[in-house]
């Protein structure tokens, strides 16, 4: 179902770009202490987890798994904020770094992409088996939100009691077009530079031998990167094929657990109209729309010296409705 968001942007941050950029700037000094854990994968690669605390047999706190956005990590401003919020609510937070995003390059040519659910599937199975007495919930940001959506659709009988999807590019093709327009090109350059650098490091380390450094250096758009790198390395025909197969929008109707999807109409990474579902959503899926918020911004409050990070209030409120401990 659709729901109008209660979020009201701070009067001093009405602009979508200010919402998007300010969150990163204002939270730059936030500290989040975590404990690292490396998990070896069946295919010979590895994943790094960041825990707010390691679960114990004597304390059955709920565990909330977080999936970060494109080239994000535990140090991303939104990740630090939510991990601290989860801890303050008496829960345990664990961020799953996508392959190659923890500060260490992964071992294989392929790393991760918007439709890749293999690692969240493995980690979910591993943790729910290891900590079977705990309740589990999940939060996905941006690319991680699309991955989470895909996972929930492919595994409707999953062990999560609830999930939240934030600012997810549920229609990948339209998002790659939108981020190549106007001021959004600034975000695109930032992301493309990181993606290209990661790929060049793999060439240098001989992890991948199908790419050309010279061609990589000429890439300027997300679409070009996905067409030259993401698609072929992960078995897709091209960018269009990758976008069509990996977009989360088409699977929303298959989600069976309580799921809150948060989306801002002014998100500079998204084509708002293309993101909106065209099919009737199940009652357990709430698509919450706000007029403002930018991309993972959602900053409220009247005092610029004391901003309110609305997502850190809205998400726990939703999870509390479904967690029993």
- Kindly report, residue by residue over 201-225, the tens digit of the pLDDT: 999 989 988 899 999 999 999 999 9
The 8-class DSSP code of residue 182 comes to T
Check whether 132 has a pLDDT greater than 80.
Answer: yes
- Average pLDDT rounded to a whole number, residues 79-91: 98
Where does the pLDDT of residue 314 fall: very low under 50, low under 70, confident under 90, or very high at 90 and above? very high
Let me know if 142 is a catalytic residue: yes
Domains and CATH numbers, the chain: 2-171+251-320 (3.40.50.1820), 172-246 (no CATH)
Q: Please say whether the beta carbons of 249 and 279 come within 8 A.
A: no
Q: For residue 196, is pLDDT > 80?
A: yes
Catalytic site residue 227? no
Alpha-carbon dihedral angle through residues 81, 84, 88, 89, given to the nearest 10 degrees? 70
- For residue 190, the tally of other CB atoms under 10 A from its CB is 11
Separation CA 261–CA 116 (nearest Å)? 19
Whole-angstrom Cα distance, residue 218 to residue 140?
A: 31
**From its phi and psi, is residue 201 left (phi > 0), alpha (psi between -120 and 50) or beta?**
alpha
For CA atoms 67, 259, 290, 188, the dihedral sign is: positive
Please give the model's pTM, rounded to 2 decimal places: 0.97
Which range has the worst mean pLDDT, 108-122, 270-284, 307-321?
Answer: 270-284
Residue 193 annotated as catalytic: no
What local confidence, expressed as pLDDT, does residue 19 receive?
97
- In this prediction, residue 324 carries a pLDDT of 86
Set 17, 68, 97, 295: catalytic member = 295
Share of the chain above pLDDT 70, in %: 100
Residues belonging to the chain: 325
Selected catalytic residue, list 5, 142, 174, 199: 142
What CA–CA distances, in Å, run from 169 to 60, 69, 73, 143, 308? 34, 10, 18, 6, 25
What is the signed CA dihedral for 203, 209, 215, 218, rounded to 10 degrees?
-30
Dihedral, 114, 141, 153, 3 alpha carbons, nearest 10: -130
pLDDT grade for 57, boundaries at 50, 70 and 90: confident
DSSP at 45 = -
User: Is residue 180 within 8 Å of 221, Cβ to Cβ?
Assistant: yes
pLDDT tens digits, residue range 223-282?
Answer: 999 999 999 999 999 999 999 999 999 999 999 999 999 999 999 999 999 999 988 999
In the predicted model, what is the mean pLDDT of residues 56-61?
87
Whether 325 has a pLDDT exceeding 80, the answer reads: no
Sheet containing 136-141, strands listed edge to edge, beginning at the edge strand earlier in sequence: 2-4, 285-290, 259-264, 160-166, 136-141, 63-67, 92-96, 46-51, 35-40
Residue 239 main-chain phi, psi, to 5 deg: -60, -40
């Amino acid at each position: 179902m659709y729901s109008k968001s209660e979020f009201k942007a701070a009067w001093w941050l009405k602009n979508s770009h200010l919402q998007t950029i300010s969150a990163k700037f204002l939270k730059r000094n936030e500290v989040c202490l975590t404990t690292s854990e490396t998990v070896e994968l069946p295919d010979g690669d590895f994943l790094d987890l960041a825990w707010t605390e390691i679960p114990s047999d004597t304390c059955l706190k709920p565990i909330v798994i977080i999936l970060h956005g494109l080239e994000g990590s535990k140090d991303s401003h939104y990740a630090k904020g939510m991990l601290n919020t989860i801890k303050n609510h008496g829960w345990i937070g664990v961020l799953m770094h996508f392959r190659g995003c923890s500060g260490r390059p992964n071992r294989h040519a392929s790393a991760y992409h918007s439709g890749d659910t293999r690692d969240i599937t493995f980690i979910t199975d591993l943790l729910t088996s290891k900590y079977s007495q705990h309740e589990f919930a999940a939060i996905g940001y941006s690319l991680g939100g699309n991955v989470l959506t895909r996972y929930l659709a492919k595994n409707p009988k999953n062990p999560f009691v609830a999930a939240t999807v934030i600012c997810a590019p549920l229609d990948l093709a339209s998002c790659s077009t939108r981020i190549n327009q106007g001021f959004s090109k600034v975000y695109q350059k930032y992301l493309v530079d990181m993606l290209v650098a990661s790929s060049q490091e793999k060439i240098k380390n001989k992890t991948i031998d199908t790419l050309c450094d010279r061609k990589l250096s000429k890439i300027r758009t997300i679409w070009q990167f996905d067409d030259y790198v993401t698609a072929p390395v992960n078995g897709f025909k091209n960018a269009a094929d990758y976008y069509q197969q990996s977009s989360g929008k088409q699977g929303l109707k298959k989600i069976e657990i309580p799921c809150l999807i948060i989306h801002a109409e002014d998100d500079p990474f998204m084509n708002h109209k293309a993101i909106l579902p065209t099919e009737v959503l199940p009652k357990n899926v709430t698509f919450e729309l706000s007029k403002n918020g930018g991309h993972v911004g959602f900053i409220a409050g009247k005092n610029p010296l004391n901003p309110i990070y609305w997502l850190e209030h809205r998400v726990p409120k939703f999870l509390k409705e479904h967690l029993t401990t």
